[in-house]
Structure 1
Amino acid sequence: MSAPTRTPTGRNEVTSEAARRRTFAVISHPDAGKSTLTEALALHAAAITSAGAVHGKGDRRGVTSDWMEMEQARGISITSAALRIEYQDRVLNLLDTPGHADFSEDTYRVLAAVDCAVMLLDSAKGLEPQTLKLFDVARGRGIPVITFVNKWDRPGREPLELLDEIEQRIGLRPTPLNWPVGIAGDFRGLVDRTAGNAYTKLHRTPGGATKAVEEPVDAARAAEIEGAAWEQAMEELALLDEIGAHYDAESFLAGKSSPVLFGAALPNFGVSHLLRTLITLAPAPSARADASGTPRPVDAPFSGFVFKMQANMDKAHRDRMAFVRVCSGRFDRGMVLTHAASGRPFATKYTQAVFGAERHTLDTAYPGDVIALVNAQALRVGDTLYDGPKVEFPPIPSFAPEHFAVARAVDSGRYKQFRRGIEQLDSEGVVQVLVSDVRGEQAPVLAAVGPLQFDVVRHRMEHEFRAPVELSHLDYSVARRTDAASAPVLHGLSGAEVLTRRSDGELLVLVHNKWRLRVIQRDHPELLMEPLLAGGIEEEG
């Protein structure tokens, strides 16, 4: 099969189009308002006309990016989604991520595909464990971070206290771009530090379903109508000026400082300022290092890598979709690319752009864009596709699992469907599938970051593959990498089990707990028991 005839791509075209792109993810602790912020950004960019709510209360529909039945039923995000938004001659590729900690591995894969991250903080809770963990991954990948302090319309902490926590706990120097007038729970408006302390008074809209009304007010009038709240804000701004908490592009891009904005996503307060910040401060796509460490320029021939696999987004067709981050060159639908892992050609006749549950045919794409390849049976997470000279990007590390369960088919007569379902969930990264010679392929061990991943397995195996499973939980909580020489000894020790043939070829040993791990390491220092990489950082312990 030959590639269709197409107009030669000019380097200037690719470079200029790449400069228009901003590809970013929103990361947060569960319940910080991430899905609500995602919709608020789409609303302010006029990509949608009415915002939904996470729980779809009243006559408000569910969030645009949460399309799976389980997400809609539970009111949480458990998969990532790609939203393409055009705003002020910029193309924003927002990669929404799972909000629940049990699905953080999906978030780590998304962070491999973005150029910037928005760290969302709850004004009352500040930096929470999941936020800290995700920030560590962003830092490990060299991703600059913009901080958005959310829920300022509800009671919360002092703004200066939140800034101090950011600096003390994660070592980022906070540089506020705006400042709230009114304490958390009494949100009056925002002072824009980047525009000479211009004040915008905010007016709530019914239910926050449409864009908040923003009224410019001069300083004299603001002092008159806001009173003590205005005076307090001015004192705090003077202190920020005194300590030199001003935005610095070099330290932001180097991951040493973070621009900070305040707002409230549900009533759409401060969201427009975040949008403007993304298009002006967030970095555009740039040269990305391949597996050998050589940077591949954005105007090189097409290349991209798979960061997400998702099956059955369209129930009517039971399809399998690969989300690919474009790293270089121009993509034209119908191109015949090369699959780096196999060396085989890969046709791209069916290519789409996805906006939550909606999707449409995509004809062209540029660096920073996300393309969805339909019926991508041959692809797995981390695979590289390219045109022209061979290139392969580094694999996306698997996260260190902490929960394990043996899966067995409830109906032995549907074993083929059972195997197909387990293999597909493994290739999508829903769980890691481990097999041992002792247990056999009929009883694979599923390894997960959090127990809710097992609920997804049960749901999908029953409803998509018509092969219900029985899961028996194993009393292990630690996984380590080992080798063929150490495996026989480890397998014979109490509290340890060696499992083989993980999809990436690694040999793993499971241990009951960290105490037992330390005992084995003390008594058998010659045995290989290496920590697994957790999304670019070493796991704790």
Structure 2
Amino acid sequence: METMASKPIRNIGIFAHVDAGKTTTTEQILYRSGRIRSLGSVDAGTAQTDFLEVERSRGISVRAAATRFSWQGVTVNLVDTPGHVDFLSEVERSLRVMDGAVLILSAVEGVQAQTEVIWHALRERNIPTLIYVNKMDRIGADPQGTLKQIRRLLSPQAAPVQAPIGAEDGFGGAVSVLGLTPGDSEDAKGYLQLLEETVAEREESLLLQYLDNGTLPREELVQKLPALTQNGELFPVLFGASSKGMGIEPLIQAMVTLLPPPLAALNGPVSGVVFRMERDAAMGRVAYVRLYSGVLRNRDSVRNETQQLEEKITQIRKIDGQKAEDVGLLEAGDIAAVCGWNHARIGDIIGCADHVPGETRLAVPLLTVQVKWSNEAEYPAVVAALQELADEDPLLDLQWLQEQRELHLKVMGPIQIEVLTHVLNNRYGLKVDFGQPSVIYKETPAQMGEGFIAYTMPKPCWAILRFRIEPGERGSGLTYSSTVRSERLLERYQHEVARSVPEALQQGLFGWEVTDLKVTLIEGEHHVWHTHPLDFALATPMGIMDGLSHTGVKLLEPLLSFRLSIPEETGGKLMNELILMRGEFDTPVVRQERMEIEGTLPVATSLDFPARFGSLTKGRGALATFFAGYRECPPDVKAERVRRGVNPLDQAKYILAFRNALAGS
């Protein structure tokens, strides 16, 4: 049975497009709640939640930072997430453990590229969300225009619970629309009317009342707001100017009254998830855990379900930006940093998976880069450092080609490469360069075919397999099944085959991962005396590669869907560019001398497009891109990747390498 946590808690993520004022807002919240005594600044590099050296020097957040404060008896765990698209994986991991969100927009720039990516992710997970329109004091702040844009691009269920007083230099804060008096401005009454209409549309009895009276009773509104917000039927909009500390207290008030408490099963089995990893000079690896069920204490031995091992907790800490205290206890519903787990990685399920929500995939690394080191002596240190960083960010997916002495990483974009360079230098004292990013292609079978392997020599061994391989729908990944009866091939051997198929598909004929296919085991045979369980782990890749050599493969390339808004006069030039990049797009829409174009672009041809876009539009364009999946490459595109290890098509050599590896391990 899920109940509320034992003490009032809120787990809230702060999300925004880069530069909307997210870290400044977090800083003000900590200050106003009495959590910190003096205000830090992003520009001066003294913000509480920006503690990586690179964050302070660049003024951007690249890691989700957890901090906490109390307000009117409620403890709030606040996670400030990065706004830059290259760090989307951090955002994605934070989303999984949040019960509520504050999405910050700038009153000047309005809804931006990243705002929409985050919004879609918040909606996919149905996380109750407050929208905070910041920078109301800046030149060009347009609250009504921003509100219209929010309702058009994000949701028509977004409605103001405040009315701003003035804007730009004359911004005087915001008042609650629930406390308006007859003397208030027509503007303010317009904001109230918008809220009443939006609430009335959610319930028939309210709609009839609204149509009869032209208004709704205040008590009714006050009573309905929390439930509507928590069910994701209403998204309250608030206004402020965080750099001046205006609008912060009403925002905190809304966070504790409108966003939901966590559901938690205190008496249930331990069930939680690691959502970020950190290094601490004194304590080593620190795992941030959100606990959904049960209780953890110092010195408990806890099962890591993902890695199938048990590890002991040395210390449980509550973290505030850079400060930490040993609290020795983590209860369901809460978040804390756990020390002592040397094997933990991001995404690991702790205890059992019963209460842990699934994850959202937003970030798909589409580029791969090769790592270069300045002198040979540093090679082992570079490998060790990158393995540690890959534990903190599993999407880096470090590929270490030991024979070629090469290291490759998957990355989201150029800023991430810059940050990695910085971290390797600052944390590990290593000077590392990265090669030019190249695109990650995939392969898919060109037609249906069969793969066969009879691994019966040199004895003792016996594994006979026949696979049917057929193309699947785009985006379907791998579907595996077996039609072989267990008396022909024992269940345990069938499990070994099922486990080995995805591994065998990591490198196809051109060295890329093979995807969007159906693999069916249609024949299988073991031998009572000669079969060793590992024979099937060895035979499966040979059978699969044999099959791919018969079906042939098509290359797939990653696509981005894009939306851009540009001054009308630059439209012709930009459409030409899009065509040259093999882009496809719908008929442009013209709105108030601006042209909006939506379509898709191959990643391979548009690597430098975001950088060139600024000069093509004289800095007046807006570009949003999202990963849109993979599609077939044109026939003239060729891309091959160096294979790691021995090719299973060279069966004699492959068997030898596999057996040697077994003997050596």
Indicate conservation of the 8 Å contact 1:435/1:441, yes or no.
no
Which residue among 366, 370, 386 is the counterpart of 1:422?
386
Indicate conservation of the 8 Å contact 1:339/1:384, yes or no.
yes
Indicate conservation of the 8 Å contact 2:557/2:632, yes or no.
no
Matched residue of 2:175: which SS?
Answer: strand
Distance 1:400 1:320, change over 3 A: same
Question: Does residue 360 of the first structure (1) align with residue 325 of the second (2)?
Answer: yes
Q: What is the aligned partner in structure 2 of residue 413 from structure 1?
A: 377
The letter of the residue matching 2:271 is S
The letter of the residue matching 2:298 is R
Instruction: Tell me the CA shift for residue 125 of structure 1.
Output: 1.1
What does 1:315-394 align with in structure 2 at a 5 Å threshold?
317=282, 319-386=284-351, 394=358
Distance 1:319 1:233, change over 3 A: same
Structure number with greater CO (CA < 8 Å, separation at least 6) is: 1
Q: What is the aligned partner in structure 1 of residue 508 from structure 2?
A: 488
**Two-structure CA RMSD over aligned residues (Å):** 3.3
Which residue among 152, 155, 158 is the counterpart of 1:171?
155
Deviates more, 1:422-431 or 1:35-44: 422-431
Deviates more, 1:330-339 or 1:416-425: 330-339
Matched residue of 2:439: which SS?
Answer: coil
Distance 1:512 1:385, change over 3 A: closer
CA displacement, residues 389-430 of structure 1 (integer Å, 9 cap, x when unaligned): 987764664721133211133322233222211111111107
Matched residue of 1:114: which SS?
Answer: coil
Question: Does residue 49 of the first structure (1) align with residue 162 of the second (2)?
Answer: no
CA displacement, residues 205-262 of structure 1 (integer Å, 9 cap, x when unaligned): xxxxxxxxxxxxxx59xx6xxxxxx534344245436635566444433333201111
Question: Does residue 151 of the first structure (1) align with residue 114 of the second (2)?
Answer: no
Distance 1:369 1:440, change over 3 A: farther
The letter of the residue matching 1:411 is N
Question: Does residue 404 of the first structure (1) align with residue 368 of the second (2)?
Answer: yes
CA displacement, residues 469-527 of structure 1 (integer Å, 9 cap, x when unaligned): 23112332666867646953444xxxxx5599xxxxxxxx8848754764438899xxx
Indicate conservation of the 8 Å contact 2:442/2:513, yes or no.
no
Instruction: Tell me the CA shift for residue 319 of structure 1.
Output: 2.4
Distance in 1 separating the partners of 2:227 and 2:193: 23
CA displacement, residues 159-188 of structure 1 (integer Å, 9 cap, x when unaligned): 333222122112241221111111344112
Distance in 2 separating the partners of 1:50 and 1:413: 46
Instruction: Tell me the CA shift for residue 441 of structure 1.
Output: 6.8
Deviates more, 1:395-404 or 1:182-191: 395-404
Distance in 2 separating the partners of 1:390 and 1:36: 37
Distance in 1 separating the partners of 2:250 and 2:354: 42
Q: What is the aligned partner in structure 2 of residue 231 from structure 1?
A: 185
Q: What is the aligned partner in structure 2 of residue 39 from structure 1?
A: 27
When normalised by structure 2's length, the TM-score is: 0.62
Distance in 2 separating the partners of 1:165 and 1:478: 36
Q: What is the aligned partner in structure 2 of residue 527 from structure 1?
A: none
Q: What is the aligned partner in structure 2 of residue 192 from structure 1?
A: 176
CA displacement, residues 325-376 of structure 1 (integer Å, 9 cap, x when unaligned): 1111233222221111233222112221111111111222223322112243
Matched residue of 2:78: which SS?
Answer: strand
Which residue among 76, 83, 86 is the counterpart of 1:102?
86
Q: What is the aligned partner in structure 2 of residue 520 from structure 1?
A: 633
Indicate conservation of the 8 Å contact 2:160/2:191, yes or no.
no
What does 1:454-473 align with in structure 2 at a 5 Å threshold?
454-473=417-436
Distance in 2 separating the partners of 1:441 and 1:424: 21
Question: Does residue 278 of the first structure (1) align with residue 232 of the second (2)?
Answer: no
Matched residue of 2:49: which SS?
Answer: coil
Q: What is the aligned partner in structure 1 of residue 621 from structure 2?
A: none
Indicate conservation of the 8 Å contact 1:15/1:299, yes or no.
no
Q: What is the aligned partner in structure 2 of residue 533 from structure 1?
A: none
Distance 1:401 1:64, change over 3 A: same
Distance 1:402 1:231, change over 3 A: same
Matched residue of 2:397: which SS?
Answer: strand
The letter of the residue matching 1:476 is V
Q: What is the aligned partner in structure 2 of residue 305 from structure 1?
A: 273
Gaps of 5+ in 1: 1-10, 198-218, 224-229, 288-296, 492-496, 501-508, 525-541
Seq. identity, %: 25
The letter of the residue matching 1:99 is G
Gaps of 5+ in 2: 200-220, 444-476, 479-501, 516-554, 560-600, 605-629, 638-665
Distance 1:265 1:157, change over 3 A: closer
Distance in 2 separating the partners of 1:377 and 1:22: 29
Give the number of equivalent residue pairs. Answer: 453
Indicate conservation of the 8 Å contact 1:176/1:259, yes or no.
yes
Matched residue of 1:365: which SS?
Answer: strand
Indicate conservation of the 8 Å contact 1:430/1:453, yes or no.
no
Distance 1:84 1:512, change over 3 A: closer
Indicate conservation of the 8 Å contact 1:401/1:478, yes or no.
no
Distance 1:137 1:441, change over 3 A: farther
Based on CA coordinates, which of the two structures has the bigger radius of gyration?
2
When normalised by structure 1's length, the TM-score is: 0.75
Indicate conservation of the 8 Å contact 1:402/1:477, yes or no.
yes
What does 1:69-148 align with in structure 2 at a 5 Å threshold?
69-148=53-132
Distance 1:434 1:192, change over 3 A: same
Distance in 2 separating the partners of 1:510 and 1:443: 25
Distance in 2 separating the partners of 1:270 and 1:512: 43
Distance in 1 separating the partners of 2:506 and 2:344: 32
Distance in 2 separating the partners of 1:71 and 1:486: 35
Instruction: Tell me the CA shift for residue 101 of structure 1.
Output: 2.4
Indicate conservation of the 8 Å contact 1:434/1:499, yes or no.
no
CA displacement, residues 274-301 of structure 1 (integer Å, 9 cap, x when unaligned): 11111111111126xxxxxxxxx45413
Distance in 1 separating the partners of 2:433 and 2:556: 21
Instruction: Tell me the CA shift for residue 22 of structure 1.
Output: 0.4
Instruction: Tell me the CA shift for residue 124 of structure 1.
Output: 0.8
Indicate conservation of the 8 Å contact 2:505/2:514, yes or no.
no
